[in-house]
Structure 1
Amino acid sequence: MSPGASGGSLRVASYNLKDLALDRAAAARVVRQIDPDVLCLQEVPRRLFSTWRVSSFAAECGMSWSGRHRGSGGTTIFTSPRVHVAQSQHVRLAVPAMRRTRGYAVTLVGPAGHQPLVVASIHLGLDPAERERHAGQILAAVASGGPVVLAGDVNEVETGRAWASIASALVPVSPPAPTFPADSPQSRLDVVFASPTLTVLPHREVTLDVRDLVAASDHRPVWVDLCVGADSVLAADRGA
């Protein structure tokens, strides 16, 4: 990751897009309303015309995309013009034959003049043992000695072993509200975890049209504002 703005806050969001198989215009409206600096995505299109579809969606959201996500199991990361990205990588995780591919996306990003953050988008699988194994592998891979944020769909709630594995190193910092299914949320599957050294700012609610939330995906998005400097430059740019 590399510095970009001069200081302030960093809004990190996570959203499972269900392969953009539902209402992509509604999904883009949701993202624009949240206005994240870093957007961790799961279930982005992976097959026919996937690069064009993801790139077009990034433009519809007013965000930038690295243009690469092969091997990531449908995860990727968008960034806003308010931050600068030094590195982006998509990593495949081992799964048994005939099982859905899994992976994660990781980027090094941050405001100018401040220590950059490692931010990873994750989407754990449906098998509990696989989730726990992948959680440990991702944690080991992204450990940098500096602040880390993991955001995504962990496919289990707080009592799960993968959740416990991540929480042994990072703190769940997004609001403790259910995110799935979108039309009547019952389970908190989508979450942002962050290094305990990072300061979490008071949560700012965003007015989102419930019709868009239900039309866009079967998951609801989550987001958090992290303090990365003394001045709230990014927050001020956003008009917060």
Structure 2
Amino acid sequence: MTEEARAHSVRVASYNVRGLKDDRAALVEIITTIAPDVLLLQEVPRHPVSGHRIAGFADEVGLTWFGGRRYRMSTTVMTSLRLDLLDARHGPLPVRRFDEPRGFGMATVRLPGHRPLVACSVHLSLRATDRGAEVKALLGEVGPRLPVVVGGDLNEEPSGPTWRRLAGELHEVSASAPTFSARDPHKQIDGIFATEGLPGVIPELDLDARLLAAATDHLPVVVDLDVSTLAS
């Protein structure tokens, strides 16, 4: 990537880290090699006193974590110092009674010299009949005010109705490739979507397959988002 292109690019990665239960050193090496500006995480520890673990992990990968109330959800967002963090929050999505909590992490960020962008991490239900309502609620939270990038573990392949809805409301910017499992990639259930007018370029990354398999059970999804249309 040229310096000029880099000046108008935001690297976004989405990654299900399975509660940080696997090879921590491998996970840290993978993320630091990716060097994301925005890291959309799923399955971070979600018990009430786990904030210090997430903050410590952010330090290990050289990113900033905004913390805050998480409603027992396992989604969150981390950002690099390359971006201005303007606002951030977590919120719940509708679930059936007694089901695992589902929600989103959302951050409004700005690459200096550009207008703001909303970045949102989501982890949808394993139950197909529930994912539509979750995405409807998520898109309602995002709203039409600012450009948006949404990424996460959709628990659904591209042929599914929820994936197609996100790709219709936004547009798919991540690569069409299997993301699960990390040891035997055969199913694409993770993706990144962005507002029209924010094209994505898939970066060439030298990620060690052994480290990927050791780090967690999903593969990371990475895109360099072209935000030149947001230049102010």
TM-score scaled by length of structure 1: 0.89
Instruction: Kindly indicate whether the alpha-carbon contact (under 8 Å) linking 1:72 and 1:90 is maintained by their aligned counterparts in 2.
Output: no
Deviations 1:58-112 (CA, angstroms, capped at 9, x unpaired):
0000000002252162000000111111000100112112211100011101211
Indicate the residue corresponding to 2:210 in structure 1: 211
Deviations 1:125-153 (CA, angstroms, capped at 9, x unpaired):
11112111101111121023331100000
Paired with 2:166 and 2:199, the residues of 1 have a C-alpha distance of: 18
The answer as to 2:144 corresponding to 1:158 is: no
For the residue of structure 2 that corresponds to 1:77, the secondary structure is strand
Instruction: Kindly indicate whether the alpha-carbon contact (under 8 Å) linking 2:48 and 2:72 is maintained by their aligned counterparts in 1.
Output: no
Measure how far apart 1:49 and its partner are: 3.7
Give unpaired runs (5+ residues) of structure 1.
Answer: 1-5, 233-240
Identity %: 41
* Higher RCO, Cα 8 Å, sep 6+: 1
Paired with 1:85 and 1:28, the residues of 2 have a C-alpha distance of: 22
Instruction: Kindly indicate whether the alpha-carbon contact (under 8 Å) linking 2:33 and 2:207 is maintained by their aligned counterparts in 1.
Output: yes
Report the count of equivalent residues: 226
Written as runs of structure 1 = structure 2, the 5 A alignment for 1:90-109 is 90-109=90-109
Moved more, 203-212 or 57-66: 203-212
Deviations 1:170-218 (CA, angstroms, capped at 9, x unpaired):
11111101000000111111100011111323x2211111111111110
Moved more, 204-213 or 11-20: 204-213
Instruction: Kindly indicate whether the alpha-carbon contact (under 8 Å) linking 1:42 and 1:74 is maintained by their aligned counterparts in 2.
Output: yes
Q: Which amino acid aligns with 1:10?
A: V
Kindly report structure 1 stretches of 4+ aligned residues shifted beyond 4 Å: none
Paired with 1:21 and 1:209, the residues of 2 have a C-alpha distance of: 19
